[in-house]
Amino acid sequence: MSKQIEIRRVAEGKHSTLSHLYIGGLFCCYLLEDRVREEKVAGMTCIPEGEYGLSLNHWSGMNTRYAKRFPKLHEGMVEITEIPSFQLVFIHIGNYHTETAGCPLTGSYWQRLDGDYQVMGSEAAYKYVYPLLVEEIQQGNTRLVVENEVGF
């Protein structure tokens, strides 16, 4: 039985959005994205609410970097697909909204500084959640639900 994979947006800063990632109802990590906007702007906007695909990307430049950085863990970048007019949106490591380029960044905990959110312990969160997502994708659970929960 596949488990629902969800991003639930819970708070918004001046330029950032703090989210929770759930797999099968279990909180797995925090995510940091750019702000919510009516229309997605490349590198400046989080993914719109909706349902999307998940896959393992084996060909992007980021895939090569992560394969070198995590040789025992890496099996391809977790890519969020089916976003209208956008591709190469990955769940990856980073701390600040300036590092997202429209992608969700993993975090173990968060801080709010000068009106914006940042996530910390990003690599530890990634190492935890990445194998869980890979297992779900390999079992055919390739759907992601994105919901805005508060203040949007």
pLDDT in tens, 58-97: 999 899 999 999 999 999 999 999 988 788 999 999 999 9
Classify 132 as helix, strand or coil.
helix
Average pLDDT estimate for 88-115: 94
Q: What is the pLDDT averaged over residues 10-25?
A: 95
DSSP string across 29-79: EEEEEE---SS--TTTSPPPSEEEEEEEE-SSHHHHHHHHH-TTT-SSEEE
Count of C-beta atoms within a 10 Å radius of residue 67: 15
CB atoms within 10 A of CB 58: 13
123 Cβ neighbours under 8 A, 6+ residues apart: 93
pTM of the model: 0.92
Better pLDDT: 31 or 41: 31
* CA 30/CA 120 separation, integer angstroms: 9
Give DSSP secondary structure letters for 83-134.
Answer: -TT---EE-EE-SBGGGTTTS-EEESEEEEETTEEEEE-HHHHHHHHHHHHH
d(CA 82, CA 111): 31
What pLDDT score does 24 carry? 96
Q: Mean pLDDT score of the chain, rounded to an integer?
A: 92
The token pair that represents 143 in the structure block: 């759907």
Judge whether residue 1 has pLDDT over 70: no
Which pLDDT belongs to residue 39?
65
